[in-house]
């Protein structure tokens, strides 16, 4: 999973719903100060976001031509050649299918747990809330690579503290390794998502619950009918970031390659980008990247639209 950065959750601004008002003539006050504030970020954003995106697209349109088998290689414009190669690449689609299956199971489980923990923390049912909040969040301080190394040991039949379990179930086999990785990702990120949802819950003023309490509604009813609808934006947010993370899986499977031969160099889309670029076939790797970034964008955007429509009902 990539950056823990939050949200494009500001749905209202993200969606191109509100067209900017007619550009009236505005006299800009303090143009120099604005430049001082904006320019450093804008320059870096251009250099390390916009230009690389543009360059990836450009690179993906090239093909390598050789004079004979061992001749000098030159890059020439190839149009959509690489994209045709992407669409005909079986392992790439298998890897996409794999991360989608992963996401369909792992994301709901992880967010369901995060929501449950957040609601329990917010309810009067628990004692020692501080402790739980901290204990559940600690795994987030463990980098994905380190978490994967650690769990790799825990899954190994001869090193694990749970030999009774690991000698009977082979977590690193071809059948289970994807779900073994899903467990690592869940372990790291549940607490993080829990905190985002929990801070949304804290922002709800308690007066809102009073009427429900007077009507005799219990904690469960209050959670279901009042709290969850009110924190929907936070849940959508965690959903989007989980989807992005799923499609970007790299560090965990890359580490698991050292523990299990079932994880191949084409296990996830990002692993394919990496192994293709080190063959090297950078144009094909660039095309993989572009398709992947587009897929991420489309998926998280449709998730946003879908949940907004549901909410609007």
Range 62-71 contact pairs with CB under 8 angstroms and sequence separation of 24 or more: 62/283, 63/283, 64/281, 64/283
From candidates 100, 109, 154, 228, binder to other proteins by CB under 8 A? 154
* Residue nearer to other proteins on the CB measure, 7 or 91: 7
Q: Among the candidate windows 77-85, 100-108, 172-180, 193-201, which touches other proteins by CB under 8 A?
A: 193-201
From candidates 74, 75, 213, 310, binder to other proteins by CB under 8 A? 213
CB proximity list for 249: less than 8 A, separation 6 or greater: 1, 99, 102, 181, 185, 268, 270
Residue 291: count other Cβ atoms within 10 Å of its Cβ. 20
- C-alpha distances in angstroms, 75 versus 51, 64, 69, 304? 20, 4, 15, 40
User: Looking only at residues 238 through 267 of this chain, which bind other proteins when binding is defined by CB under 8 A?
Assistant: 240, 244, 247-248, 250-251, 254-255, 257-258
From candidates 16, 68, 71, 312, binder to other proteins by CB under 8 A? 16
Q: Does 103 bind other proteins (CB under 8 A)?
A: no
From candidates 78, 266, 293, 307, binder to other proteins by CB under 8 A? 293
Q: Does 203 bind other proteins (CB under 8 A)?
A: yes
Size of the site for other proteins (CB under 8 A): 123
**Residue 75 phi, psi (nearest 5):** -95, 130
DSSP result, 143-190: -HHHHHHHHHHHHSTTT-S-HHHHTTS-TTSTTTHHHHHHHHHHHHHH
* Residue nearer to other proteins on the CB measure, 52 or 108: 52
User: Looking only at residues 21 through 80 of this chain, which bind other proteins when binding is defined by CB under 8 A?
Assistant: 23, 26, 28-34, 36-38, 40-42, 44-45, 47-49, 51-53, 55-56, 59
């Amino acid at each position: 999973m990539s950056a823990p950065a939050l949200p494009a959750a500001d749905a209202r601004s993200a969606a191109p719903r509100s067209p900017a008002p007619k550009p009236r003539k505005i006299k800009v006050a303090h143009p120099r100060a604005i430049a001082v504030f904006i320019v450093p970020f804008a320059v870096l954003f251009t250099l390390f976001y916009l230009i690389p995106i543009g360059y990836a697209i450009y690179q993906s349109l090239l093909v390598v031509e050789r004079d004979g088998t061992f001749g000098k290689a030159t890059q020439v414009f190839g149009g959509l050649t690489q994209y045709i190669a992407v669409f005909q690449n079986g392992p790439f689609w298998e890897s996409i299918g794999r991360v989608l299956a992963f996401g369909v199971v792992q994301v709901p489980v992880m967010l369901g747990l995060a929501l449950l923990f957040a609601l329990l923390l917010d309810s009067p049912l628990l004692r020692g809330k501080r402790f739980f909040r901290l204990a559940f969040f600690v795994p987030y301080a463990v980098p994905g690579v380190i978490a994967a190394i650690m769990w790799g040991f825990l899954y190994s039949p001869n090193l694990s503290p749970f030999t009774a379990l690991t000698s009977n179930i082979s977590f690193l086999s071809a059948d289970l390794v994807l779900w073994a990785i899903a467990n690592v990702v869940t372990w790291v990120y549940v607490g993080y998502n829990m905190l985002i949802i929990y801070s949304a819950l804290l922002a709800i003023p308690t007066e809102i619950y009073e009427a429900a309490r007077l009507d005799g509604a219990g904690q469960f009813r209050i959670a279901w009918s009042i709290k969850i609808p009110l924190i929907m934006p936070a849940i959508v947010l965690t959903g989007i970031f989980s989807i992005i993370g799923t499609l970007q899986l790299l560090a965990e499977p890359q580490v698991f390659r050292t523990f299990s031969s079932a994880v191949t160099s084409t296990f996830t889309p990002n692993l394919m980008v990496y192994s293709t670029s080190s063959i090297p076939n950078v144009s094909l790797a660039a095309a993989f990247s572009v398709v992947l970034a587009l897929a991420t964008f489309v998926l998280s955007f449709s998730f946003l639209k879908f949940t907004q429509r549901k909410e609007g009902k």
